[in-house]
Amino acid sequence: MSENTISKETLEPVEGALSLEQLSEQIEEIKGQLQTLTNGAQEDKLSLIVFSGDLDKVLASFIIATGAVAMGLDVVMFFTFWGTPVLRDKKKAAGGKDFMGKMFGTMLPKGAGGVKLSKMNMGGMGTTMMRTLMKKKNVASIEQLMELAAEFGVRIFVCEMSMDLMGFKREEMVDYPNLTYCGVAKFLEEAVESKIQLFI
């Protein structure tokens, strides 16, 4: 038999190898997956989870959010657990709370003005010094950054589960034009389309 002659054994499929039909099916499956990825292409969006209620971390969250909008990104902020008290309005009150709701309301800060530093708080002295230094250096406060975020169209989502756990009610939250009460599923819908996701 010459070297150019193909034997019958050569044409028989090797054990464990994929047939043409199976390869074709796999290619079609890959095409479908690529199409799904293309359809769900990530947008120029930042999805930011604000988990902390510390002054420095909340401040950083709003600075990043407003900076991202200035760069042309769509921004979504999701406030959950210790981040939710930041959105309480110190001028508002909500009645009809149970014992635990009243306890959480008393122990946790009421609004951005009541948050403390994550480090070097020193019984409140560190936080006071930081706020004084921010004012001296013309650094915007959380309240001012929140107003700027509203002007820029930053959307804020509040975790309803966290609010329920802590006994917070909608009527005691800040007036914000794009404030939405939702669960984690809604935030994930936004996050899956985002190029950037942050957890602070």
Per-residue model confidence as pLDDT tens digits over 87-123: 999 998 888 888 888 888 888 888 998 999 999 989 8
Q: How high is the mean pLDDT of the chain?
A: 86
**DSSP 3-state assignment of 11?**
helix
Checking if the pLDDT of 14 tops 60, the result is no
Residue 64: CB atoms within 10 A of its CB come to 17
Reported as type and span, the H/E element at residue 27 is helix 20-39
pLDDT score, position 93: 83
CATH topology of domain 43-199: Hypothetical Protein Ychn; Chain: A, (3.40.1260)
Our measurement of the distance from residue 179's CA atom to the centroid of its chain's CA atoms, rounded to an integer in Å, reads 14
Residue 18: CB atoms within 10 A of its CB come to 12
101-123 in b/e burial notation, b at 16+ Cβ within 10 A?
beebbeebbbbbeebbbeeebee
pLDDT grade for 177, boundaries at 50, 70 and 90: very high
